[in-house]
Structure 1
Amino acid sequence: MLKHRHLLLLFSLFLLTSLNEFSYAQTNELNSKIINEYDKIREIAPREKLYIHFDKSIYLPVDTIWFKGYLVNTTLNNSSAISGLIYTELINADGEVVQTLALPTILGLTWGAFPLKEETYPPGNYTFRAYTNWMQNFGDTYIFKKEIKILNLDADQQAITQNGKNASKKNITNQLTNTRNKQEIDIQFLPEGGSWIADLPQKMAFKAIDKSGKGIKINGEIFDSKQNKVTDFKSNTLGMGYFTMFPKLDETYTAKVNFQNGLATKNLPKATAKGTIIALRSSKKSDSLIITVASSLSNQPLTLIGQSRGVICFTANINANDVGRTVRITKDIFPTGVSQILLLDDKKQILNERNFFLNLNDELKVNISSSSLTYNVRDSIPIHLKVSDYLNNPVEASFSIAVTDDNQVLKDSLSENNILTYLLMTSDLKGEVENPGYYFQNQSDEIYNDLDALMLTQGWVSYNWDITKKPLLKAEKEYTISGRIINIMNKPSPHAKIILLGKNKTTMMLDTLTNQNGEFVFDKLPLMDSASFVIQALNAKGKKGTLGITVNEFVRAPFILPKKSYIENNEVIDSIVAQQIDAKNEVYKAALKSGISLREVKITGKKIIRGSKNLNGAGEASQTLTEENLSQIPKKSLYDALAEKVKGFREGMRRKSNIRDYFVNGDLARFIFDGVEIDFFFSPTGSPGGDEYYHFVKGFLDYYNAEDIRGIEVLSNGYSFRYKNQFMEPLDDKTYSFIEITTKTGAGPFLKKSANMYLIKPLNYGNNKVFYSPKYNSTNKKEKLPDYRSTIYWNPNVLTNVNGEADVSFFSADKKGTYTVWIEGIDTKGGLGLRRMRLTIK
């Protein structure tokens, strides 16, 4: 049986065996063109997918989101060689990007963390996105997305205190039931292959969803215009199913639908007089697919194609007529995953398409074991991992492992995507796939039929691409800074000297020359967090001249806010909230008894600016203006806002000079925009008058209005120490007040770029945060302070050796109950593996 790692052998496979001894040409000119076009598409526009494994999906405001990324090419599912940089984002419910990390990859693997601070991440629902620059060429298709919830412990604590845990759970359950009673449903009817042709027997699929977008169980009957019953139908629990009909021309068919506490009617699509259909029949036990092509067209040559992951698996030529043609295809010419049958006309236009899913059971065999399945609290727990391929050969692979407390973390193997369900199925389907793990449980007849209903209703796979069109965005192998220099005549400036000055914890300077097209590039840059760069251009003679700089900056993928669910939460999440609150409060109580104060101190009288880069920390400033303060004067310039709202802000003459400057009381004022000091970009020309710096700063203060600003913090006296050490080189004995300005865009002081100068602030790489797992011994095992971790252990980089083995260990916490050990990963050939284990803590 051919497996996914042999997929490239399928290029030469075009032999079909017919049930009715109809003979097909193996190759012809049209087939060759189609095959060549698929080859060119893979060469011009190769695809890659990205899956992210998380430790959990519900977090406390003080937690850290741990994750690992697996970047693969879609053809073989092995590590992608296209991109080397992955962008990860957290987006709030208003569609604002709160934080972005740009993570380098090695062999398609990367991992990172988002530490959650309440001033940056207030409780609510967030969307986690991950993608490469190259993926943006294909729209929203391959961008990975996951909903993340950050709990509001104070609000949830109050609700549970008032109602009790059981009452709170009951209230949400009642809310869910009442909403079901009131809601309407949406039903779609979708003919197999996309065509609904009169006088031909066809399969009609259907899907019903409620207002929240979730599938809802239905049943009903189909009637014609004379109210004669044609057939009946019944969905599965997720609202999907199909039935077979023989539609008549000019007839109107109506579905009368029953659902819980409701009735609905819906007209079926009208049948057309002419066209083509394809029907796919397959049983769980059969090793073949049976494809039937029927047509009411006259003697038009048709081409039947089977494709998977952008690779042609077979082609066949068929002459269209009113007699159905049936062919049998062996299943093992397709890889595991979503594939597609296409019917094309002589102009290569798609007439019909039919998606299907095959599971050849060729995933990695992942076995995890421990010396026992039952442990005491604060015990050392060893885990042994042994991995082989489907032929039982040991494999070297990379895995990520998350161990979570079932009392505090909801881990549902059916409802959550994993590396198998996402890369092999849901990433190739449209819409939300509910309970994706259900389809990978086993291969019962019921699951097999439900899987076919899913393919009929949510199938999407498409690798079409105009081969005359080039992708607009480049694949990034590493972080680079590149751009183009033009002269005053808007023509390229070759041999221009480009100086890159960067500042993070240290200062760095690089230089290069532009090529004949005026292009420059700085590559192999070191990993830097919260860095800023200034690019300066000098012409071939080493003079400033009048040069324009264009930098190829990162363009964020567009984001569309997801539709809000009619009911945002469910009773299971409410139970998890209660458990996490209990755990947190028990830690506080134990700490108080032992004389340790851990209770979180609420800062009063200090205003927090969301997104502020304040070096002293949130709320640590001499004066703070919030968005609410500035909303009172939205159209005033930033200069006027400072003069009106900041005590002591003024302009005046520097001591013993005729140079104008800005002051806060007697201190010289220095301005920081989103963590970037504007003095970094001041390049004096030596013009007479002494006001050059004053006008440079004034340009920024007049450019912004108050409505552009999220907050202003003034750092004077003791609050200025860190700023002076960070930004003043060399240090002097003058006193300064630093004004930290947080813009709503967070983009820093990006004004119209001055000639010869350009500021760029690259995305953060993160801080290489490592999961802390306590180690208990005879000395600290009896510590009074309780250990109530919800994520017990997280390791994103578990590597098996040549024998396919790896060992890890961790210590249990103090809550008794059960843990879920969740491990998933990939080998170098694209083999995917997943395993779960349950441990008991007593």
Structure 2
Amino acid sequence: MMPKLQTLLLSLLFVFSLSQSTFAQTADSKSGVISEYDRIREIAPREKLYVHFDKSVYTPQDTIWFKGYLVNASFHAYSQISGLIYTEMINWNGEVVQTLSLPTVLGLTWGAFPLKEDKYPPGNYTFRAYTNWMQNFGDTYLFKKEIKILAIDANQKPAVTKSKVIAEKTSSSNDAKRNKQEVDIQFLPEGGSWVADFPQKMAFKALDKSAKGIEVSGEILDSKQNKVTEFKSNFLGMGYFTLSPLLNETYTAKVKLGNELIYKNLPKAIAAGTVISLRDNNASDSLSIALSSTLVDQKLILLGQSKGLLCFVANINANTKGKTIKVSKDIFPTGVSQILLMNDKKEVLNERNFFLNHNDQLKVSISSKSLEYTLRDSIPIHIKVSDYLGKPVSGSFSMAVTDDNQVSKDSLNDENILSYLLMTSDLKGQIEKPGYYFHQQNEQTKSDLDALMLTQGWVSYNWDVNKKLTFNADKEYTISGKITNVMSKPSANAKVILLGKNKGGMILDTLTNQNGEFVFDQLPPIDSASFVIQAKNAKGKAGTLGITVNEFVRPPIITAKKKNNVENNEVFDSVGVAQIIAKNQVYEAALKGGILLREVKITGKKTIKDSKNLNGAGKASQILTEEDLTPIYKKTLLEVLQEKIKGFREGNRKGNGIRDFFVNGDQVKFIFDGIDLDFFYQPPSFPSNNDYYLYVKSYIDYYNAEDIRGIEILSNGYSFRYRNEYMSPMDPKMYAFIEVTTKTGTGPFLKKAANMYLLKPINYGSDRVFYSPKYTSVNRNDKFLDYRSTIYWNPTILTNTNGEADVSFFSADKKGNYTVWIEGTDTEGGLGVSVLKLSIK
């Protein structure tokens, strides 16, 4: 266990024992609260997930690179609950475009989403990541990040705009043009209650129509229009003032916004209630908690908590007024904490967020031999990491190096692993410029952070101990379910066969237990489009068995549909950048030793919805769409192929006389909804030359045109990907593939067999690795232009026992500045981030 965790746990034990003597109250209420917190943490422990990206704005054909850090929510050590992380891309219509399930080791995982144009047209997307266990606690715990894909036309120059950072600093000149209704101002009393005759902080938050903070100032007026006090927000539209309200008095805020005045009524003060105020003096090692209650003869409970940890608890006498309690800051961990005041029914009367920073994060240092390099130069980076006491740390880190000409990164304000895990993930709603609160610790930052805590709701770790947890923690990817007989009774000792197509094919089998349950685990990485599960009873007969499979349940997408308006508002400083970005795809292919084939130009390209075409939408030798099939909807698939597909015929294979289907001279392989029809073929014990032909014919005779959404013929240059996916590399024959997209999308099933189940698993992703070119004397002067926007991405940097690691990469062909951004963890709760700027001359 890390020293700081030991210190915290000792502090917690200390405060529990100290509170007995300090507050000299009965232990019943306190022990009940302590037991409840312990029980919740035991039954429903929480996880947090942070994801580091190479950037947040991409172009078509780009790749999203990311690394996930899965931690225990309380101490930020790596999570031992889940071993599988789900990542997905959601488009502006709220539709899931792609999902990957990624296994984790010590809470770490990484992956990539290649942005194929047919799947990812330019627009606004949401990246979402979570574990199955997180679904028990609602949408709040899921990691989300907004992703933009820009439209880049190689024949047009992009809009050249200033960066957001510069634009926001100069936006005050437009304030006078704002409509009054476009600004929302909220006033929030400290602790939640505004009780008459008690001095309290009143926090406020001003937002424009896009929910961004806007700077305001003004006065508080009473009912006689007398000025009571003044207020002024910070640059994020937040602030607070202190006021002792009078009962039955009406207070109005006169808000100045540019040349406009906005009037907003403050909440009405109440006659009776409870007041809680928190004061944090930098010079003191304690927090001062002032509380008062006008609730007659009601005993109260005061407690401090942080991320599901109970830090202190005390009983408060009835009729308490003007009581001040001091608690040590050391009993709270770094991050967001709460002071709660509850009645004897454990109903929360007041709550107060606050943030403490003990400066106990990892110290990450990144350096290079120089801060200036030339084009296509080798750039070495040295990394050194220590804990807050200066002791070297072994840890796992991810590094992104991006070109400032093409990627706008605000190292002072953008989200990072510190701001997310220590602050953002414990607060509700959107947090603007989260990195700002961690960059510099001074009085202004402290005041701004307190304003944020006063105006932002917190994520509750409470849990009803009697409530059932619906979602299990996935330790690994498994396929499980239940087999039942015709009477819906569990079928014990039934044989369950799992058929899947991956490299070399996969066939697994198992037996059900006495409850009819089966599990397939320790599965290899999955690249299958689907599995078929078959069940046979203890006698090996199919009978009338039924199969229920525990399929993955995706969290509901509750984000409202967004307008798909994407502005090219990245920082481009030259006219030709967009053109070169587009042409750079050719450059990267050449660097990797790839063969550039002549592009097949498709005029009036046809596409088929939900097609599993491995080449992408519309990339086929021949295409029949639903529109083509509608006039002949009663004809069989075989008749459609014979009449509409050029070169389709029946015939005998050369040399053996086996009957088969062909497109011109190429033997045909049928693929239904991405599933190989041959996968289900089992030759009879006494084969004949027509067995396979009759097997295929039974399918293409069964389907009518009205069952089909589209047909694609993949021959010649379009068959390469299909050969790699479905055929043995040792097979020398040429094949034509026919991809049939059915309206049901269930694959080649003539009817739903009771003892068969089609399962489409979530892909594990791939072993895709970021390609970083290496320049030598041989290729340093080649003619290809290298204008990478992500210069380097490495998610697997490990520091040694001395806390050190070394990496290197080559600069590209554009002069300017690079941002080197590294962040990570020691997997025991230590978090760190660092940024370095390099100049390319």
Which bin holds the TM-score, normalised by the shorter protein? Answer: 0.7 to 0.9
Q: Distance in 1 between matches of 2:194 and 2:452?
A: 19
Q: Which moved more, 1:534-543 or 1:448-457?
A: 534-543
Q: Which moved more, 1:725-734 or 1:755-764?
A: 725-734
Q: Which moved more, 1:165-174 or 1:203-212?
A: 165-174
Q: Distance in 2 between matches of 1:27 and 1:487?
A: 60
Residues 387 and 643 (structure 1), Cα distance of their counterparts in 2 relative to 1, 3 Å cut = same
Match of residue 385 from structure 2? 387
Q: What is the root-mean-square deviation in Å for CA atoms of aligned residues?
A: 4.2
**Per-residue deviation at 1:502?**
1.4
The match for 1:284 among 258, 261, 282 is 282
**Per-residue deviation at 1:787?**
1.9
Residues 293 and 175 (structure 1), Cα distance of their counterparts in 2 relative to 1, 3 Å cut = closer
**Per-residue deviation at 1:291?**
0.7
Q: Distance in 1 between matches of 2:440 and 2:322?
A: 34
Q: Distance in 1 between matches of 2:353 and 2:155?
A: 44
The match for 2:469 among 468, 471, 477 is 471
**Per-residue deviation at 1:748?**
5.8
Q: Which moved more, 1:354-363 or 1:368-377?
A: 368-377
- 1:275-424 aligned within 5 A: 275-321=273-319, 323-424=321-422
Residues 562 and 119 (structure 1), Cα distance of their counterparts in 2 relative to 1, 3 Å cut = same
Q: Distance in 2 between matches of 1:312 and 1:786?
A: 58
Match of residue 581 from structure 1? 578
**Per-residue deviation at 1:815?**
1.4
Residues 746 and 218 (structure 1), Cα distance of their counterparts in 2 relative to 1, 3 Å cut = farther
Q: SS at 2:29's partner residue? A: helix
Match of residue 441 from structure 2? 443
**Per-residue deviation at 1:573?**
2.1
Q: Distance in 2 between matches of 1:512 and 1:693?
A: 29
Q: Does 1:768 align with 2:767?
A: yes
TM-score normalised per structure 1 = 0.87
Summarize deviations over 1:25-67 as a string: whole Å, max 9, x none: 3771221121111111111111111111111111121221111
**Per-residue deviation at 1:108?**
0.5
Residues 734 and 420 (structure 1), Cα distance of their counterparts in 2 relative to 1, 3 Å cut = closer
**Per-residue deviation at 1:557?**
1.5
- 1:85-164 aligned within 5 A: 85-154=84-153, 157=156, 160=159
Q: Distance in 1 between matches of 2:368 and 2:158?
A: 40
Q: Does 1:47 align with 2:46?
A: yes
Match of residue 813 from structure 2? 814
Q: Distance in 2 between matches of 1:82 and 1:684?
A: 46
**Per-residue deviation at 1:193?**
1.3
- 1:173-572 aligned within 5 A: 177=174, 181-182=178-179, 184-321=182-319, 323-562=321-560, 564=562, 569=567, 572=569
Q: Name the aligned partner's letter for residue 102 of structure 2.
A: L
- 2:190–2:277: 8 Å Cα contact kept in structure 1? yes
Q: Distance in 2 between matches of 1:215 and 1:642?
A: 63
The match for 1:648 among 630, 637, 644 is 644
- 1:684–1:692: 8 Å Cα contact kept in structure 2? no
Q: SS at 1:153's partner residue? A: coil
Q: Name the aligned partner's letter for residue 771 of structure 2.
A: Y
Q: SS at 2:136's partner residue? A: helix
Q: Which moved more, 1:477-486 or 1:194-203?
A: 194-203
- 1:129–1:145: 8 Å Cα contact kept in structure 2? yes
Q: Distance in 1 between matches of 2:123 and 2:642?
A: 33
Q: Which moved more, 1:146-155 or 1:378-387?
A: 146-155
**Per-residue deviation at 1:785?**
2.3
Residues 153 and 733 (structure 1), Cα distance of their counterparts in 2 relative to 1, 3 Å cut = closer
Q: SS at 1:141's partner residue? A: helix
TM-score normalised per structure 2 = 0.87
Q: Does 1:800 align with 2:803?
A: no
Q: Distance in 2 between matches of 1:175 and 1:665?
A: 70
Q: SS at 2:78's partner residue? A: coil
Residues 502 and 27 (structure 1), Cα distance of their counterparts in 2 relative to 1, 3 Å cut = farther
Q: Distance in 2 between matches of 1:185 and 1:640?
A: 62
Match of residue 655 from structure 2? none
Q: SS at 2:15's partner residue? A: coil
- 1:29-48 aligned within 5 A: 29-48=28-47
- 1:648-687 aligned within 5 A: 648=644, 672-677=671-676, 680=679
Summarize deviations over 1:141-165 as a string: whole Å, max 9, x none: 11111111111112993564xxx77
Residues 770 and 255 (structure 1), Cα distance of their counterparts in 2 relative to 1, 3 Å cut = same
Q: SS at 1:413's partner residue? A: coil
Q: SS at 2:178's partner residue? A: helix
Q: Distance in 1 between matches of 2:661 and 2:789?
A: 51
- 1:669–1:739: 8 Å Cα contact kept in structure 2? no
**Per-residue deviation at 1:84?**
0.6
Q: Name the aligned partner's letter for residue 383 of structure 2.
A: L
Q: SS at 1:248's partner residue? A: coil
Q: SS at 2:507's partner residue? A: strand
Q: Which moved more, 1:532-541 or 1:674-683?
A: 674-683
Q: Name the aligned partner's letter for residue 419 of structure 1.
A: I
Residues 102 and 647 (structure 1), Cα distance of their counterparts in 2 relative to 1, 3 Å cut = farther
- 1:16–1:316: 8 Å Cα contact kept in structure 2? no
Counting matched residue pairs gives 818
- 1:667–1:737: 8 Å Cα contact kept in structure 2? no
Identity %: 62
- 1:700–1:749: 8 Å Cα contact kept in structure 2? no
Q: Distance in 1 between matches of 2:384 and 2:205?
A: 41
Summarize deviations over 1:702-756 as a string: whole Å, max 9, x none: 996x7xx5x642446875686578658999999976133176x977679985211
Match of residue 741 from structure 2? 741
Residues 609 and 119 (structure 1), Cα distance of their counterparts in 2 relative to 1, 3 Å cut = farther
- 2:122–2:566: 8 Å Cα contact kept in structure 1? no
Q: SS at 2:449's partner residue? A: helix
List gaps (5 residues or longer) in structure 1: none
Q: Distance in 2 between matches of 1:73 and 1:248?
A: 46
Q: Distance in 2 between matches of 1:563 and 1:137?
A: 24
Match of residue 690 from structure 2? none
Summarize deviations over 1:112-161 as a string: whole Å, max 9, x none: 1112222221111111111111111111111111111111112993564x
Q: SS at 1:193's partner residue? A: helix
Summarize deviations over 1:504-549 as a string: whole Å, max 9, x none: 2222211111111111101000112234211111112222121111
Q: Name the aligned partner's letter for residue 35 of structure 1.
A: I
- 2:481–2:517: 8 Å Cα contact kept in structure 1? yes
Residues 398 and 759 (structure 1), Cα distance of their counterparts in 2 relative to 1, 3 Å cut = same
Summarize deviations over 1:779-806 as a string: whole Å, max 9, x none: 2222232322211111111111111111
Q: Which moved more, 1:306-315 or 1:522-531?
A: 522-531
Q: Which moved more, 1:373-382 or 1:775-784?
A: 775-784
**Per-residue deviation at 1:76?**
1.3
Match of residue 14 from structure 1? 15
Q: Which moved more, 1:711-720 or 1:227-236?
A: 711-720
